[in-house]
Structure 1
Amino acid sequence: MQIRKIHHVAYRCRDARETVEWYGRHLGMKFVLAIAEDRVPSTHEPDPYMHVFLDAGQGNVLAFFELPKAPPMSRDANTPDWVQHIAFEVGSVEELEATRARLEAAGIAVVGITDHAIFKSIYFFDPNGHRVELAANTATPEMMQRLDEVKWEMLDEWSRTKRAPKHAAWMHEREFEAAAE
């Protein structure tokens, strides 16, 4: 078997309509499908839900479940807010900058533009508390080759030591040097 692509990624939402409208207004995602049931098809549990699907571009689908009978949504208290997120690629740094300005004008707090050397990104939260990242690629083929050449060494070192290997420290060195000046 070989995976062809991600069929969809699903998250929980507080309000399906609010979520569909927010992603449409702020990220241009089209509402493509809604499924609602009184029972969960896989487990047959009685648990009504609304399952909405949004077009995230290039065959990618972002989906949400509204679960009105479930306890209120919360995050894993042991996982920092910045860890769990979904990242979408945009076409250019200019598009990223324009989107940041639009989001901020709409009252959405945005972190970044953060320079990751191989891409630049911004971060913000959707109305459900899910962290969203928009990223514009900036990598050269040489940069990607350098990273590819050390990925297994980095993983092996991390597995042994649980300390950040320095094989790719070049990616953020200039950022930390600028902050120190």
Structure 2
Amino acid sequence: MKIEKIHHVAYRCKDAKQTVEWYRDMLNMDFMLAIAENRVPSTHEPDPYMHVFIDAGQGNVLAFFELPTKPEMGRDPNTPEWVQHIAFKVKDRDELVAYKDHLEKSGVEVLGVTDHSIFHSIYFFDPNGHRIELACPDPEEDAMLAKLDAVKWDMLEEWSRTKKAPRHADWMHAKELEGLE
């Protein structure tokens, strides 16, 4: 048995229409379909919902549930905002910067461009408070991924023993962290 791919990823939203329009207008994603029912099919719980599906490219589907009868959505107060996020790949740095400009001109606050060595990213929040990352590959991505692949198990084992960041891949963010330490 082997998983083929992610079928879809689902999140909660505050307003289904606003969410669909935001992803269409800010990230150029197409609205695929909507499902609305008064009963949850898996649990049979009576709970009206709107479930929308958005095309995130190349067979990737992003879905949202609007749940009008539930308490207002929130975040896990024990998890920092930067941890839980959705990351989407864009073609190259020019496209990444074009998205950054488009988002900022539309009033979206954008963090970055952050150089992760293997890729470059910008970060922002959708209208539901979900953190979004757009990432493009670095021209040296393949060589850097090979370096990371060679040390992944050593890093994981050291982390598991010590719960301290192993130094095997310090090179990744050296440019970003210059002068901060």
What corresponds to 1:121 in structure 2?
Answer: 121
Residue type at the aligned position of 2:142: P
Q: Distance in 2 between matches of 1:158 and 1:88?
A: 27
1:135 counterpart = 2:135: yes
What corresponds to 2:68 in structure 1?
Answer: 68
What corresponds to 1:32 in structure 2?
Answer: 32
What corresponds to 2:91 in structure 1?
Answer: 91
**Deviation digits for residues 125-156 of structure 1 (CA, Å, limit 9, x no counterpart):** 00000000000010432211110000011000
TM-score (norm: length of structure 2): 0.97
Give the secondary-structure state (helix, strand or coil) at the position aligned to 2:159.
helix
Runs of 4+ deviating beyond 3 Å: none
Q: How far 1:123 moved relative to its partner? A: 0.3
Q: Distance in 1 between matches of 2:89 and 2:141?
A: 16
Residue type at the aligned position of 1:175: E
Gaps of 5+ in 2: none
What corresponds to 2:176 in structure 1?
Answer: 175
Residue type at the aligned position of 1:123: Y
1:155 counterpart = 2:156: yes
Gaps of 5+ in 1: none
What corresponds to 2:112 in structure 1?
Answer: 112
Residue type at the aligned position of 2:4: R
- Does the 8 Å CA contact 2:125/2:131 hold for their aligned counterparts? yes
Q: Cα RMSD between the aligned structures? A: 1.1
Q: Distance in 1 between matches of 2:135 and 2:76?
A: 25
Residue type at the aligned position of 1:145: A
Q: How far 1:172 moved relative to its partner? A: 1.1
Q: How far 1:39 moved relative to its partner? A: 0.6
**Deviation digits for residues 80-129 of structure 1 (CA, Å, limit 9, x no counterpart):** 00000000000000000011011000110000000000000000000000
What corresponds to 1:41 in structure 2?
Answer: 41
CA gap 1:157/1:71 in 2 versus in 1, 3 angstroms: same
TM-score (norm: length of structure 1): 0.97
CA gap 1:160/1:180 in 2 versus in 1, 3 angstroms: closer
Q: Distance in 2 between matches of 1:38 and 1:175?
A: 49
Residue type at the aligned position of 1:27: L
- Does the 8 Å CA contact 2:115/2:175 hold for their aligned counterparts? no
Q: How far 1:180 moved relative to its partner? A: 5.1
